[in-house]
Amino acid sequence: METIEKIKQQLADNPIIIYMKGSPKLPSCGFSAQASQALIACGQPFAFVDILQNPDIRAELPKFANWPTFPQLWVEGELIGGCDIILEMFQRGELQPLINETAAKYNSESAE
């Protein structure tokens, strides 16, 4: 599968996904650590892709997203942004409702 197709599939399969360096439990950079901590604090499950383990995605996603840096948070196939945006949204109380509503929407769909 082409890298862009793989990315599109990941975005389609995971309503909340963060592309980051490392994993939420073992982040490999400070920005990824802060961004994933904000997501964890929202209390909903989310998917992640470790770009250090996926150099093809690391190379292609910035071009696909038109966003040069990692981490990248995507919700329902839309790029939300990187670490600064995620933390600003979290501090303003905007991230939690977005994550909770998205999780609730997909949890109810899978329960039907």
Q: Is 42 annotated as a binding residue?
A: no
Token match 């945006």: residue?
85
11-15 LR contacts (CB < 8 Å, sep 24+): 11/74, 11/77, 12/77, 13/47, 14/46, 14/47, 14/74, 15/75, 15/76, 15/102, 15/103, 15/105, 15/106
Q: Is 58 annotated as a binding residue?
A: yes
Cα–Cα distances (Å) from 28 to 51, 54, 74, 91, 96, in that order, read: 10, 14, 19, 23, 24
CB atoms inside a 10 Å sphere around CB 47:
14
Q: Is 50 annotated as a binding residue?
A: no
Q: Is 21 annotated as a binding residue?
A: yes
Residues making up the binding site? 21, 29, 58, 70, 83-84
Residues making up the binding site for [2Fe-2S] cluster? 29
Residues making up the binding site for glutathione? 21, 58, 70, 83-84
